[in-house]
Amino acid sequence: MIETTQIGDRFREQYGSVPDLISRSPGRINIIGEHTDYNEGFVLPTAIDKSVYVALGKRDDQQIHLYAEDFGEFFRTDLAQVAPTDKGWPNYILGVVNQLKERGLLLSGFNLYIDGDIPVGAGLSSSAAVECATGFGLNQLFNLGLSRIDLAKIGQLAEHTYAGVKCGIMDQFASVLSKPDHVIRLDCRDLSYQYVPLQLHDYELVLLNTNVKHALASSAYNDRRQACEQAVEWIQSQHPAVKSLRDVSIELLDQWVQPKDESVYRKARFVVEENVRLDRACTALAAGDLSELGQLLYRTHMGLSQHYQVSCPELDFLVDQVRSFPEVLGARMMGGGFGGCTINIVKKGFGTKLVEEIAPRYQAQFGLALTPIFVKTGGGTEIVN
């Protein structure tokens, strides 16, 4: 956690005045339901206790001044000139400003300072947290009257248009709407949702960070999305009522997709099966059957790795390594893939020992450090000052 007084002080050092407000938006984990969100399926995410903080102050002109603590640098533009930049980090903020402008919402110039403690590139959705902290803060600063769900959608569109990733709604939704000790069972078709208690009894969630983020992750992500849309299109030509993989059965895939393209078939089949696994995971959670939940995680990993093909050697290695420990009930890669973290259900107190055992093996295999993240769940976006 970062102290809000520190954020306020740093804002003042950069801009010479106190901020009007500070908003906070968290990163997320996802228990199960991966690559289902953009297929109108189900996801089971929640926020973690690591966040992005955005301090904002109104200006008297139309200028937008941004300062990112992580990069130690400014980016300055004008409200009328907002456009994507090669610089990278400003895009997640400017993309949101652009969405607000497109909705005809009245903004004027502002100073923004941003800092956070979500590890970047770890698959914990630091970019969604930036978008949501920015949107939430600007909504408050300029009295825009947007709902949390509006802000999640704005964050998602910012990612599509300014970061070039055609992501689903899961990350932004989890960031704005999570509650501590609960996961959100979100139906990505109509955005209806329930809070499900996350009771892990003698177990806890440990993330193992591969510390890699392979290049081309975003283009591969967009390719997967396209493969799913291709499968839908082929089925739709025979069954016009089918709108997404949500409406599709394995039989339909067998009949209309498999003969056309085996690789598209395997990807679409993964998505259909993943929705079923999520249902089972909710039943297991409610019954306190954590062994079953763990097994479902392992099966999801297998599907993501072999069929959906979004894993990488580092993630596969980590999931493989933990299998031999009876204290670990299940593990899988989490998020978009090609790096980031695995999520593991581990006997309370065993996490440190687990890391001591496998970190040297990981180091020997890949020449990389393995960093554990012991996560607590947390609440959604808020104004903290």
Q: Which is nearer to ligand GLA, 37 or 314 (CB)?
A: 37
The answer to whether 102 and 4 have CB atoms below 8 angstroms apart is: no
The answer to the question of residue 35 lying near ligand GLA (CB under 6 A) is yes
Provide, rounded to whole angstroms, the least separation between the CB of residue 39 and ligand GLA: 9
The answer to the question of residue 119 lying near ligand GLA (CB under 6 A) is no
Provide, rounded to whole angstroms, the least separation between the CB of residue 229 and ligand GLA: 14
The answer to the question of residue 115 lying near ligand GLA (CB under 6 A) is no
Q: Which is nearer to ligand GLA, 137 or 168 (CB)?
A: 168
The answer to whether 231 and 267 have CB atoms below 8 angstroms apart is: yes
What sign has the CA pseudo-torsion 375, 114, 44, 146? positive
Of 152, 157, 167, 206, the one binding ligand GLA (CB under 6 A) is 167
| Catalytic positions | 171
* Secondary structure (DSSP) of 135-151: HHHHHHHTT----HHHH
**Structure-token pair, residue 300:** 């999801």
Provide, rounded to whole angstroms, the least separation between the CB of residue 125 and ligand GLA: 6
223, 177, 183, 174: CA torsion to nearest 10: 20
At residue 300, what are phi and psi to the nearest 5 degrees?
A: -60, -45
Which range binds ligand GLA by CB under 6 A, 15-23, 34-42, 193-201, 364-372? 34-42
- For strand 63-68 and strand 110-116, is the pairing parallel, antiparallel, or unpaired? parallel
* Distance separating alpha carbons of residues 26 and 175, to the nearest angstrom: 5
Q: Which is nearer to ligand GLA, 272 or 354 (CB)?
A: 272
Provide, rounded to whole angstroms, the least separation between the CB of residue 205 and ligand GLA: 17
At residue 250, what are phi and psi to the nearest 5 degrees?
A: -60, -35
Q: Which is nearer to ligand GLA, 115 or 131 (CB)?
A: 131
The answer to the question of residue 274 lying near ligand GLA (CB under 6 A) is no
The answer to the question of residue 339 lying near ligand GLA (CB under 6 A) is no
Of 115, 171, 229, 314, the one binding ligand GLA (CB under 6 A) is 171
Provide, rounded to whole angstroms, the least separation between the CB of residue 319 and ligand GLA: 16
Residue 309's alpha-carbon distances to 144, 151, 174, 301, in angstroms, are 41, 31, 25, 10
Provide, rounded to whole angstroms, the least separation between the CB of residue 310 and ligand GLA: 8
188-216: burial string, b at 16+ Cβ within 10 Å, e else:
beeeebeebebebeebbbbbbbbbbeeee
Binding footprint of ligand GLA, residue count (CB under 6 A): 11
Q: Which is nearer to ligand GLA, 114 or 310 (CB)?
A: 310
Provide, rounded to whole angstroms, the least separation between the CB of residue 36 and ligand GLA: 7
* Secondary structure (DSSP) of 199-222: --TTEEEEEEEEEEE-TTHHHHHH
> Residues 6 or more apart from 163 whose CB is under 8 A from it?
91, 92, 95, 127, 218
The answer to the question of residue 130 lying near ligand GLA (CB under 6 A) is no
The answer to the question of residue 170 lying near ligand GLA (CB under 6 A) is yes
The answer to the question of residue 162 lying near ligand GLA (CB under 6 A) is no
**Structure-token pair, residue 172:** 């932004």
* Distance separating alpha carbons of residues 174 and 74, to the nearest angstrom: 29
The answer to the question of residue 45 lying near ligand GLA (CB under 6 A) is no
Q: Which is nearer to ligand GLA, 39 or 77 (CB)?
A: 39
Of 294, 303, 335, 378, the one binding ligand GLA (CB under 6 A) is 335
Instruction: Give the residues lining the site for ligand GLA (CB under 6 A).
Output: 34-35, 37-38, 125, 167-168, 170-171, 335-336
